[in-house]
């Protein structure tokens, strides 16, 4: 991913659901932004008073290559983290720097069926993956949200069953998402798996698909975007010290 900074301006801030906000950016620097990176990510340099900005990764929900508009869907948090504070105070006209984009990690579509799962931090990437599936695709998408008001419309093939899991307290340990995924019926032939979200949940599912279901790594993408009770820096350390490499 390019480390060159691009200055952009907020041109829209829209509530997508109770806890999901879409922020759209524009600016001359986006004239060189590449197409077809939906589901990839950019790093946002979040400003802080009298301190160096912090970098946080966000999924690219869409990029309008004609108007040069970049949209990110961000989860609203009730904490005092730099990203939460920045988002709650964000206004149209504010300017910020970004870096990227980074690589897209998409479903391997050379499969017979598909299984996607994640919490609200993974919703934008899962939505992109579902939209790119062929019309005759079949499988499951298990989506954990904080409330029923977060059950947004997903543009997915009819053969993909959407399963919503409610978890109003995502910062408390819960096995609801992983239990739901492991309780799904296992279909015949080759599966393609895409999982992302909280560290502990992703770790459980990574072990399940790797060891119990023996899904080949070429058909499995499992990542963690955050970790309960830890900072972004702490997450990086946890990933490095985990007994099974991510």
What is the crossing angle of helices 199-207 and 232-241, to 10°? 20
DSSP state at residue 28: G
Q: Please tell me the predicted confidence (pLDDT) of residue 126.
A: 98
Mean pLDDT by 10 residues, the chain (246 residues): 87 96 96 94 91 92 96 84 89 96 92 98 97 98 97 97 96 94 98 97 96 96 91 76 67
Question: 230 CB contacts (<8 Å, ≥6 apart)?
Answer: 199, 238
Q: Please tell me the predicted confidence (pLDDT) of residue 244.
A: 66
Task: Give the 3-state secondary structure of residue 196.
Answer: strand
Q: Please tell me the predicted confidence (pLDDT) of residue 237.
A: 78
Question: 167 CB contacts (<8 Å, ≥6 apart)?
Answer: 119, 144, 145, 146, 174, 176, 177
Domains annotated for the chain, with CATH where assigned, are 5-102 (2.40.30.10), 113-241 (3.40.50.80)
Q: Please tell me the predicted confidence (pLDDT) of residue 78.
A: 67
DSSP helix, strand, coil percent of the chain (3-state; round to 5) = 25, 40, 35
Q: Please tell me the predicted confidence (pLDDT) of residue 79.
A: 65
Q: Please tell me the predicted confidence (pLDDT) of residue 229.
A: 85
Q: Please tell me the predicted confidence (pLDDT) of residue 84.
A: 87
User: Which is nearest to 222 in space by CA: 211, 233, 234, 237?
Assistant: 211
Q: Please tell me the predicted confidence (pLDDT) of residue 91.
A: 96
């Amino acid at each position: 991913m390019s480390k060159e900074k691009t200055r952009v301006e907020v041109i829209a801030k829209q509530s997508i659901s109770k806890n999901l906000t879409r922020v759209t950016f524009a600016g001359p620097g986006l004239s060189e932004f590449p197409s077809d990176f939906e589901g990839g990510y950019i790093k946002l340099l979040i400003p802080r008073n009298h301190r160096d900005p912090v970098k946080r990764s966000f999924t690219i929900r869409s990029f309008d290559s004609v108007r040069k508009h970049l949209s990110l869907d961000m989860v609203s948090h009730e904490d005092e983290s730099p990203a939460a504070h920045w988002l709650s105070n964000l206004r149209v006209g504010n300017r910020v720097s970004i870096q990227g984009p980074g690589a897209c990690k998409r479903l391997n579509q050379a499969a017979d069926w598909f299984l996607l799962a994640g919490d609200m931090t993974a919703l934008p990437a899962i939505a992109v993956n579902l939209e790119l599936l062929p019309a005759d695709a079949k499988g499951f998408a298990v989506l954990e949200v904080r409330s029923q008001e977060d059950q947004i419309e997903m543009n997915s093939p009819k053969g993909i069953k959407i399963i919503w899991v409610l978890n109003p307290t995502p910062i408390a340990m819960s096995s609801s998402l992983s239990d739901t995924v492991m309780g799904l019926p296992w279909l015949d032939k080759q599966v393609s798996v895409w999982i992302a979200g909280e560290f502990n949940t992703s770790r459980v599912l990574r072990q399940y698909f790797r060891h119990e279901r023996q899904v080949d790594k070429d058909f499995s993408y499992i990542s963690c975007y955050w970790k309960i009770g830890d900072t972004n820096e702490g997450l990086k350390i946890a990933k490095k010290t985990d007994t099974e490499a991510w």
